[in-house]
Structure 1
Amino acid sequence: MRKFLTSKSGFFSVIVLCFWIKTYIIYQVEFDLGVQNILQQFLLFFNPLNSALIFLGVALFAKGRKAGVWLLTIYTTLNALLYANVVFYRFNSDFITIPTLTQTSNFTSLGGSIADLVAWHDLFYIIDLILLFAFFVLTKAHWSTERLPIKKPLLVLASGAILFTVNLGLAEIDRPQLLKRTFDRNYIVKYLGAYNFMIYDAVQSFNSSKQRVLASSDDLTEVENYTKSKYAEPNPDYFGVAAGKNIIKIHLESFQSFLIDYKLNGEEVTPFINSLVHDSEQNFTYFDNFFHQTEQGKTADAELIMDNSLYGLPQGSAFVTKGNNTYQALPAILQQQQGYTNAVFHGDYKSFWNRDEIYKQFGIDEFYDASYYDMDDDKVIGYGLKDKPFFAESMPYLESLPQPFYAHMITLTHHHPYLIDDEDATIGPATTGDASVDRYFQTARYLDESLEQFFNDLKASGLYDDSVIFLYGDHYGVSTNHNRAMSELLGEEVTKLKSAELQRVPFLIKIPGIEGGGINHEYAGQMDVVPTLLHLLGIEARDYIQFGTDLFSEEHQDFVPFRNGDFMTERFSRVDGVYYDTQTKEVIEEPTEEMEELRENVMQELELSDRVLYGDLLRFYTPNQNWTPVDPKNYRYGQ
């Protein structure tokens, strides 16, 4: 045994074993993969082995002691990739994909957020590396200087390939068409492993990049037929009622609906937003079953959806990877149909999320980024300008816009890791011991106070009464990695279903000339906002490729697809492959034909939206005879 352990083959066996055990431990400790049965648990344990044999087996082709150097280099690289996924998952509940790696220009703004995601116990994840390096140094003198016979490394690689085939076969038994029909990366990692997911993602990225080259106008036919069939006729009481009115769109960063009416230690966290919901004189309609539909792009996905009624991509952000696509976005529609001026206001720099490029494709006239604001240290925290100075300094720019205008105000203080200065905190933190969750309520209160200040300024300027004003949450702020703290705060266990229900985000809208409708219980999502606004302005949404339907229409489609293929309806929901009765929360053991048909419908909708973006299909579509394709060269941002 001693002779074997001090040999090249022995070292290879030890490093494979370390890789196998460590990966499985990280699966169990760091990732919530939704393991539901013994086969899934076995595959979770089994899948690191084939990856270890294939990736590490390559090193056995090296001569003599170089094989050890190769082994340690590959092992360290794979560990670094896995740890990067650990940190990414702690906030995003998701895995890194190749498209997300193209978004590294954003990382300069993420320093505090990333630091907050690193845990002290992460030190344990390097102990094996230290021991293996020491083991190699102590044993390499006993290694043969000769190269292993070629059949040995080939046998190792073949063994890895055979084990992967077995792994995939067992996975297909439990989840048929795993690699053909999935929008959820958790499934791939659970069944095939994190490293095989990286290969899968590379193949997917390659395939998506070639789709634009191969696309033609024929590919648009099915998309157009689907969106036209889903179209909901406008409510005649609302159609055109806001024509020519200013539109002020307020983006509530990381704001989830559970904050509304929530009391922390007996004190309302968001008293001003609560007043918009409950005070009839404010004339707001609040949709309390409104969900975000974002994926890896988070804020950028929300912007894409809220201006285009298209889903974000399953990997990465369309803002970055599809920034040169043709779009027929709401700003361009409003400009061409009713002469609107379009502007975005944001206290971060214009290159973040590639906004300074993709906004041109949307037809946005003005982009007031950080260069327009006072970015002194006392006014900046986390991702950029604090919300109170942001709104205050935005008012002169807003008042100077030619009317009618479409103004998009993007807040950012209420963003992970929810940092706030002592002088800005007017409510104490929660006391769960989970720092980012505890601070979440303090930055939510700060955002609430910022909104009240902004509304007062709008009223003083005369813009308030003559504007459509709506507020929306862009995505979740508290990920599933904080379920313990959330269970404590909510007073109930955060189950899979509860977690899906917590993806509700606010949507409140005030329409001049229309009395507020109070609380509307219609199930809806971000996809529905564009057709709703178009109909309020008297513009036919039917002319455009959009996957949402008018919120005020009697024909509104009240099912809410999520990007991973799950969905919510008033009667039943599908979460992580399990059907639930939405009202009783009970599992539905035998799904009905209606449920399965809706599942197929959701998958079709996601696939068709992906075709539009991957194939850049809107370049082949002319909405109406008056439409002029947006020319990005006509737009220039900066002072």
Structure 2
Amino acid sequence: MGRLKASYNWLTKTKLGFFTVVVVFFWVKTYLTYITKFNLGVVGPMQKFLLLINPLPTAMLLIGIGLFFKGRKSYWIMVIIDFLLSLWLFSNILYYREFSDFLSTSIIKTSGSTSDNLGKSIAGITKGTDFLVFLDVVIIVLLIAFKVFKIDVRRLKLKISLLIEGLAVVLIGTNLTMAQKDRPGLLTRTFDNNYIVKYLGLNSFAVYDGVKTAQSNAIMAKANHSDLKTVQSYIKKNYIAPNPEYYGVAKNKNVLVIHLESFQQFLIDYKWHGKEVTPNLNKLYHANDTISFDNFFNQVGQGKTSDAEMMLENSIFGLQSGSAMSSYGTSNTFESAPAILGQQAGYTSAVMHGGAGSFWNRDNAYKSFGYDYFMPLSYYQNKKGYYLGYGIKDKLFFDQSIKYMEHLPQPFYLKMITVTNHYPYDLDKKNQSIDKTDTGDKTVDGYVQTAHYLDEAIGELMSYLKKSGLEKNTLIMLYGDHYGISGNHHKASAQLLNKDSFNNFDNLQFQRVPLMFHMPGLKGGINHTYGGEIDVRPTLFNLLGINDQNMIQFGHSLLAKNAPQIVAQRNGDFITPKYSKVEGSYYYTKSGKRVTHPSKKVKAQLASISNTVTTELSLSDRVITGNLLRFYKPNGFKYVKRKNYTYKKADSLKRLKKAEKKSKNSVWYKNGKKSTQSDFKTDAPELKK
């Protein structure tokens, strides 16, 4: 009893006791908020532990500022800091409920997006339980008012205050170290703000985001119109005209972009135990009305899928470090495919994705790109067993997407992002229809199973497109975003390819991914031109008849007769039909033999290619980090205003219904105002009764 009384007296009559009460209250309520108000996707004991402890260090550090003052002022400073931290927590609860993301500096500063979009419906999205984050502040103020807490007027010894702040810093460092160990590249790649919060906490995220924003702003502040002129001059000098034979052959057709997650070119025509891994894609690849590219390479860096999307929509490279879409997708000005097609050719643009909308900052970047609609996981039914890894399984995703696709006004530009063929390539037994490979590498051996599942899903979607009549009026583009098997699996890769060995040159060539354009009546065939994801948009515009001569882009149409065929890799390596560079060494592309004792002429060729690669990567980086497109005002293009876009489900579907009624040309409308859902047939076991 005496010990309890002593503890009570210490908590209520000393400054350190008061500090402890405030910190513990804040710690507990923040953790409870994490698990009840946010969907952070916490998996495994390490993530659960870090989620539990991460509110504590920053609470100690910030509330501890009050310990350096004396008397009543010290107590009220701690209360005020606690209130401000609670207000920040409250604001994020509301923002997260609306946008499935956290408030960032760029969100608050750019285009009034927070006030315009969140403010209009703040009363509608606020729940009574949200105000519980202020409960501890109210309790503490009342305890002070009723003198349960006795004001300790003595100044705390400086060394004690410094010791507490030092301990907080050490705990922050320990938290960061553990987080980096569990998730390498956490702060450099920036997959998703959810990751930063669940590993480091909401307050640490605010600091991290503030530092990144300050760094970006410093670079942007130095950029000016002359920087853009340098870029324009280079692009104008190296412009390659599109192929006139194909120019406009798909004019005014729908464009359906199918994103083949982690899908490599070697899977095309690949067999395991005598069974085709991708029979549906093989059929498309070899069809007479499909243009297929067999020397098409991914060019992604740390941004992986987001880099592929950046190149696909903008013909601008990702960054050397981190994700351009995550770091600059909210704040930068872009001249993207959906905006261009909408303004110049009247296209309705949409993205459908059975994963979290905040991943890779898609929910913000797509607004900057000018996408009319974005339909992420929140638009889809997610029952037990539907979700795998990074989203809804592909067959279920396609099945549920029909009800949105059939209502899009035509022509539409629609991107559908699959996710089942994503690392670590796990697939539940009931969906497995091909054996694993037997390399002994657990990461690699499941790859054919998830790829086969994806192929089956593609087959079901293609059947729907034919049956519903959509195929006749649609240019279907399929592309692989990046490698599925990384360079850390040389031995297994050699076994898969039936090779005796597999070196760094082989791995560079292994970066091939599919690119196909399919449309009834299209003059198809397998095209051997070397190119990469930076070239996709110019190639698509070639087919659609969109003039891109005055656009800021670093790619060229792969259909052009004089395409340069220099494929830059984000690290400075390259592939051309004749030479390849990997990790500082040069090789003959066809033979794989190393270039030794090159002649003066060969040296000059290699130096010229290397200079082109370095120049384009550097200029592209300047466009993004300097936000140079804000200085560019091409004829016929209007800047995208992010505040005009919202992807909240209720608002989007209401807007879609209004647009459909106005156009009267959606699939649903043309089908006599009847759904085509029955035209989609799937063998997904999750849907069997």
- How high is the TM-score relative to the length of structure 1? 0.70
Secondary structure of 1:419's aligned partner: coil
Matches within 5 A, 1:415-430: 415-430=422-437
- Where does residue 593 of structure 1 map in the other structure? 604
1:8-30: per-residue Cα shift (whole Å, max 9, x none)? xxxxxxxxxxxxxxxxxxxxxxx
Structure 2: any 5+ residue segments left out of the alignment?
1-158, 200-209, 650-689
Matches within 5 A, 1:54-93: 81=177
C-alpha separation between the residues in 1 aligned to 2:498 and 2:181?
A: 28
**Of the two, which has the highest radius of gyration?**
2
Secondary structure of 2:470's aligned partner: coil
Matches within 5 A, 1:379-394: 379-394=386-401
Deviation (angstroms), 1:77 = 5.5
- Where does residue 189 of structure 2 map in the other structure? 100
- Where does residue 313 of structure 1 map in the other structure? 319
Is contact 1:319–1:353 with CA below 8 Å preserved after alignment? yes
Deviation (angstroms), 1:108 = 9.0
- Where does residue 452 of structure 1 map in the other structure? 459
- Where does residue 274 of structure 2 map in the other structure? 266
C-alpha separation between the residues in 1 aligned to 2:312 and 2:566?
A: 17
Matched, 1:564 2:577: no
- Where does residue 301 of structure 1 map in the other structure? 307
State the AA in 1 paired with 2:619: L
C-alpha separation between the residues in 2 aligned to 1:287 and 1:109?
A: 41
Aligned-residue RMSD, C-alpha: 2.7
Deviation (angstroms), 1:86 = 6.7
Deviation (angstroms), 1:109 = 11
Secondary structure of 2:344's aligned partner: helix
CA change 1:603–1:638 in 2 (3 A) is same
Matched, 1:461 2:468: yes
Deviation (angstroms), 1:335 = 0.4
Matches within 5 A, 1:556-635: 556-591=563-598, 592-624=603-635, 626-635=636-645
CA change 1:570–1:87 in 2 (3 A) is farther
C-alpha separation between the residues in 2 aligned to 1:509 and 1:109?
A: 41
Matched, 1:399 2:396: no
Tell me which of 506, 513, 525 is aligned to 2:514. Answer: 506
C-alpha separation between the residues in 2 aligned to 1:223 and 1:511?
A: 35
Deviation (angstroms), 1:507 = 0.3
Runs of 4+ in 1 over 4 A off after TM superposition: 73-81, 83-89, 106-110, 202-209
State the AA in 1 paired with 2:621: D
CA change 1:321–1:77 in 2 (3 A) is same
Is contact 2:190–2:360 with CA below 8 Å preserved after alignment? no
State the AA in 2 paired with 1:615: G
C-alpha separation between the residues in 2 aligned to 1:441 and 1:608?
A: 38
CA change 1:483–1:205 in 2 (3 A) is farther
Secondary structure of 1:550's aligned partner: coil
CA change 1:403–1:101 in 2 (3 A) is closer
Matches within 5 A, 1:26-37: none
CA change 1:595–1:79 in 2 (3 A) is farther
State the AA in 2 paired with 1:541: D
C-alpha separation between the residues in 2 aligned to 1:479 and 1:443?
A: 16
C-alpha separation between the residues in 1 aligned to 2:611 and 2:180?
A: 31
Secondary structure of 2:476's aligned partner: strand
- Where does residue 140 of structure 1 map in the other structure? none
State the AA in 2 paired with 1:631: K
Matched, 1:276 2:284: yes
CA change 1:341–1:412 in 2 (3 A) is same
Is contact 2:191–2:323 with CA below 8 Å preserved after alignment? no
- Where does residue 265 of structure 2 map in the other structure? 257
C-alpha separation between the residues in 2 aligned to 1:395 and 1:86?
A: 41
State the AA in 1 paired with 2:640: V
Deviates more, 1:325-334 or 1:232-241: 232-241
C-alpha separation between the residues in 1 aligned to 2:438 and 2:492?
A: 9
- State the identity as a percent: 46
C-alpha separation between the residues in 2 aligned to 1:556 and 1:106?
A: 41
C-alpha separation between the residues in 1 aligned to 2:247 and 2:437?
A: 44
C-alpha separation between the residues in 1 aligned to 2:345 and 2:172?
A: 58
1:243-282: per-residue Cα shift (whole Å, max 9, x none)? 11100000000001111111112221111111112243xx
C-alpha separation between the residues in 2 aligned to 1:638 and 1:77?
A: 37
Is contact 2:186–2:195 with CA below 8 Å preserved after alignment? no
C-alpha separation between the residues in 2 aligned to 1:332 and 1:85?
A: 38
Secondary structure of 2:292's aligned partner: strand
Is contact 1:106–1:352 with CA below 8 Å preserved after alignment? no
Matched, 1:637 2:647: yes
1:463-490: per-residue Cα shift (whole Å, max 9, x none)? 1111110100001111112222212222
Is contact 1:524–1:560 with CA below 8 Å preserved after alignment? yes
Is contact 2:193–2:358 with CA below 8 Å preserved after alignment? no
Is contact 1:340–1:404 with CA below 8 Å preserved after alignment? yes
Deviation (angstroms), 1:99 = 3.9
Is contact 1:288–1:504 with CA below 8 Å preserved after alignment? yes
Matches within 5 A, 1:231-380: 231-280=239-288, 283-323=289-329, 324-380=331-387
Is contact 2:538–2:548 with CA below 8 Å preserved after alignment? yes
Matched, 1:554 2:643: no
1:320-356: per-residue Cα shift (whole Å, max 9, x none)? 1102100000000000001100000000121121111
Deviation (angstroms), 1:538 = 1.6
C-alpha separation between the residues in 1 aligned to 2:341 and 2:460?
A: 28
- Where does residue 229 of structure 1 map in the other structure? 237
CA change 1:107–1:480 in 2 (3 A) is farther
Secondary structure of 2:403's aligned partner: helix
Is contact 2:332–2:368 with CA below 8 Å preserved after alignment? yes
State the AA in 2 paired with 1:313: L
- Where does residue 117 of structure 2 map in the other structure? none
State the AA in 2 paired with 1:211: I
Is contact 1:581–1:588 with CA below 8 Å preserved after alignment? yes
Secondary structure of 2:374's aligned partner: strand
Deviation (angstroms), 1:457 = 0.7
C-alpha separation between the residues in 1 aligned to 2:386 and 2:472?
A: 30
1:532-566: per-residue Cα shift (whole Å, max 9, x none)? 11222222111110000011111212110000001
Is contact 1:211–1:614 with CA below 8 Å preserved after alignment? yes
- Where does residue 485 of structure 2 map in the other structure? 478
- Where does residue 540 of structure 1 map in the other structure? 547
CA change 1:401–1:75 in 2 (3 A) is closer
Is contact 1:109–1:383 with CA below 8 Å preserved after alignment? no
CA change 1:475–1:106 in 2 (3 A) is farther
Secondary structure of 1:480's aligned partner: coil
- How high is the TM-score relative to the length of structure 2? 0.65
CA change 1:541–1:109 in 2 (3 A) is farther
CA change 1:587–1:85 in 2 (3 A) is farther
Matches within 5 A, 1:142-157: none
C-alpha separation between the residues in 2 aligned to 1:98 and 1:85?
A: 8
Is contact 1:300–1:353 with CA below 8 Å preserved after alignment? yes
- Where does residue 137 of structure 1 map in the other structure? none
State the AA in 1 paired with 2:487: T
Is contact 2:298–2:512 with CA below 8 Å preserved after alignment? yes
Deviation (angstroms), 1:208 = 5.1
